[in-house]
């Protein structure tokens, strides 16, 4: 009996001792946080900006109706996907009225040119008549001058009684007759000049009618040419939504009824992507990019940035933010155009693509995992206020300083986590560059996310870098 009690007492004593040891261990582990850690390492880092968009030709032109009114398509000379040359006929619209107008204006021009030619011939005849009249005047004046000399000499001789009265009267009559002939010749010259001026005016009017007819014919020809769709560039027909017999309507932008086809210059293929507003400041002209096309998997195409949009685009509507009448705080994107260096022959406009733009590269820099980076308020890192300090009203300036946020990581020092402020550089896919605050090889806390978000400075930690157990499916 005594032996049984001894065994019971020994067993109870062992249980009490074990409980004490277990409780002591648990008490000593109170406040210890289990963390995952990593090292500050030196490696090459590449900063990428990823954006999605679609393949587009650099230059494409929508061929639309350019007639004076609705017109019916009577001929389509190309098919979708066909290569075309600049100046090649693409399609022809109904042109009955424009052709009739051209014929009428040509007839009017021919009539006006005939009138002008007749007026010009009449003017040349008038010029000849005027020259003849001028010559008659000159001849009459010469004969008048000779008659005047004879008359003057006869007058002197008559005064000296050397000739008879009859001869003197004859010389005087001749002089007066030639004077009348000069006046008659001058009158005919004036009449010829007036007739020439009238014919010149008629010729000028006829020439104006010719110019007017030429302008009308040019306008009619222009209206006729608008019934022919001509390719303005070398390219490929990428969109042909109409058929022969359909009617197209001019003057309506972005309307299917006004579009005949689209010609794209495939000599320069681009990827037009939308970059988030937080990343656009890092994108520069000339930066290299890797483009993947959904329809051509497992291939990466090289390219370079050739255009960066300056207008923000609302992500929900696709419209420019400046065109929105309502102020919005929603996410915005910016258009970035990437020229592909060697696009494949099977590429098509409109294919979805993803671009990774290399915005910066660093060789052999200190890096840490991005998830290790966290933010704390400055006051959370200071010792709590006690005693007299706690009873003193807080200083507003000091309180603002305490609320200042500091970027940093938690470094494992012994068995404690110490917050250390760091300065960072470029950001890679999983790592971020450290410019100041850490040394190579230091151990920092990298997980879990909840721990990094809630752990306090100088907290006791336990490192456990084992992979988390997977739950049974």
> What is the predicted pLDDT for the residue at 27?
43
Distance CA(51)–CA(33), nearest Å, equals: 39
Contact 368, 43 (CB under 8 A): no
pLDDT of residue 76: 92
Going by C-beta distance under 8 Å and a sequence separation of 6 or more, which residues neighbour residue 180?
none
Contact present, 433 and 424 (Cβ < 8 Å)? yes
CA 210, CA 204: separation in Å to the nearest integer? 10
Least trusted range by pLDDT, from 46-55, 57-66, 293-302: 57-66
Q: How far apart are CA 381 and CA 458, in angstroms?
A: 9
Task: Work out the end-to-end distance of the chain between its first and last CA atoms, rounded to an integer number of angstroms.
Answer: 56
Structure confidence by residue, pLDDT tens digits, 412-429 = 988 889 999 999 999 888
Lowest mean pLDDT among 115-129, 208-222, 287-301: 115-129
Q: Taking 50 as the threshold, does the pLDDT of residue 24 lie above it?
A: no
| pLDDT tens digits, one per residue of 352-366 | 999 999 999 999 999
In the predicted model, is pLDDT for residue 202 greater than 90? no
Which residues lie across from 72 on neighbouring strands?
A: 247
Has residue 189 got a pLDDT over 60?
yes
Spans of all domains in the chain: 33-45+366-385+395-463, 98-225, 265-364
C-alpha–C-alpha distance, residues 41 and 442, integer Å: 8
pLDDT at 284: 94
Q: Report, as an integer, the average pLDDT of 130-136.
A: 86
Residue 228 CA to its chain's centroid (Å): 28
Dihedral of the alpha carbons of 358, 364, 365, 367, in degrees to the nearest 10:
80
pLDDT, residue 169, reads 83
* 340 or 171: which leads in pLDDT: 340
Percent of the chain's residues with pLDDT above 70:
87
What's the pLDDT score for residue 329? 72
Predicted structure pTM score: 0.63
Query: Has residue 19 got a pLDDT over 80?
Result: no
Residue-wise over 340-370: b if at least 16 C-beta within 10 A, else e? beebeeebebeeebebbbebbebeebbbbbe
**Confidence (pLDDT) at 58:** 86
Helix (H/G/I), strand (E/B), else coil: 419: strand
pLDDT in tens, 241-264: 889 988 888 765 555 667 889 998
Point out the least confidently predicted range of 62-66, 80-84, 103-107. 62-66
**Residue 5 pLDDT:** 64
Question: Alpha-carbon Rg of the chain, whole angstroms?
Answer: 52
CATH number of 98-225: 1.10.287.620
Q: How confident is the model at residue 29 (pLDDT cuts 50, 70, 90)?
A: very low
**pLDDT > 90: percent of the chain:** 36
Distance CA 69, CA 34 (A): 79
Checking if the pLDDT of 405 tops 70, the result is yes
State the pLDDT at residue 465. Answer: 85
User: Are the CB atoms for 71 and 92 separated by under 8 Å?
Assistant: no
CATH architecture of the domain with range 265-364: Beta Barrel (2.40)
Q: Identify which of 343, 225, 330, 357 has the alpha carbon closest to the alpha carbon of residue 295.
A: 343
Mean pLDDT, the chain, whole residue set: 85
Give the pLDDT of residue 20. 55
Give the Cα separation of 48 and 100 in Å (integer): 64
- Checking if the pLDDT of 64 tops 80, the result is yes
Each residue's pLDDT tens digit, 310-350: 988 888 777 777 766 565 677 889 999 999 998 888 888 88
Please, what CATH class does the domain formed by 33-45+366-385+395-463 belong to? Answer: mainly beta
**pLDDT tens-place string over residues 357-393:** 999 999 999 999 999 999 998 887 776 666 555 556 6
Q: Is the pLDDT of residue 286 over 90?
A: yes
């Amino acid at each position: 009996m005594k032996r049984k009690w001894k065994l019971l007492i020994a067993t109870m004593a062992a249980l009490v001792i074990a409980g004490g040891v277990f409780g002591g261990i648990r008490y000593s582990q109170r406040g210890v946080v289990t963390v995952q850690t990593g090292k500050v390492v030196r490696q090459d880092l590449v900063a990428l900006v990823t954006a999605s968009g679609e393949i587009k030709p650099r230059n494409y032109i929508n061929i639309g109706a350019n007639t004076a009114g609705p017109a019916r398509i009577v001929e389509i000379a190309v098919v979708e996907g066909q290569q075309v040359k600049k100046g090649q006929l693409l399609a022809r619209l109904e042109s009955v009225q424009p052709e009739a107008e051209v014929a009428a204006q040509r007839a009017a021009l021919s009539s006006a040119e005939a009138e002008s030619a007749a007026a010009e011939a009449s003017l040349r005849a008038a010029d000849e008549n005027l020259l003849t009249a001028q010559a008659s005047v000159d001849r009459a004046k010469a004969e008048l001058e000779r008659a005047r000399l004879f008359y003057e000499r006869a007058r002197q001789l008559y005064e000296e009684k050397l000739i008879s009265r009859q001869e003197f009267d004859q010389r005087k009559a001749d002089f007066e007759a030639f004077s009348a002939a000069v006046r008659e010749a001058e009158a005919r010259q004036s009449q010829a000049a007036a007739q020439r001026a009238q014919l010149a005016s008629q010729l000028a009017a006829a020439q104006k009618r010719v110019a007017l007819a030429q302008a009308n014919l040019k306008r009619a020809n222009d209206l006729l040419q608008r019934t022919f769709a001509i390719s303005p560039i070398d390219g490929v027909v990428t969109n042909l939504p109409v058929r022969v017999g359909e009617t197209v309507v001019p003057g309506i932008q972005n309307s299917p009824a006004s579009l005949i086809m689209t010609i794209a210059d495939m000599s320069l293929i681009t990827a037009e992507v939308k970059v988030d507003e937080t990343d656009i400041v890092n994108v520069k002209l000339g930066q290299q990019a890797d483009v993947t096309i959904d329809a051509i998997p497992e291939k990466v195409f090289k390219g370079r940035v050739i255009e960066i949009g300056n207008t923000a685009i609302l992500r929900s509507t696709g419209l420019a933010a400046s065109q929105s009448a309502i102020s919005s705080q929603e996410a915005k994107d910016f258009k970035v155009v990437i020229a592909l260096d060697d696009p494949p022959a099977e590429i098509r406009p409109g294919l979805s693509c993803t671009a990774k733009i290399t915005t910066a590269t660093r060789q052999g820099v200190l890096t840490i995992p991005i998830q290790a980076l966290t933010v704390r308020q400055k006051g959370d890192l200071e010792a709590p206020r006690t005693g007299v300090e706690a009873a003193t009203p807080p200083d507003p300036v000091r309180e603002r300083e305490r609320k200042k946020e500091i970027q940093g990581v938690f470094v494992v020092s012994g068995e404690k986590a110490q917050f250390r402020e760091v300065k960072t550089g470029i950001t890679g896919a999983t790592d971020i560059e450290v410019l100041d605050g850490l040394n190579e090889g230091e151990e920092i806390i990298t997980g879990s996310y909840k721990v990094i978000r809630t752990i306090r400075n100088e907290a006791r930690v336990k490192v456990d870098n084992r992979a988390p157990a997977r739950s049974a499916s």
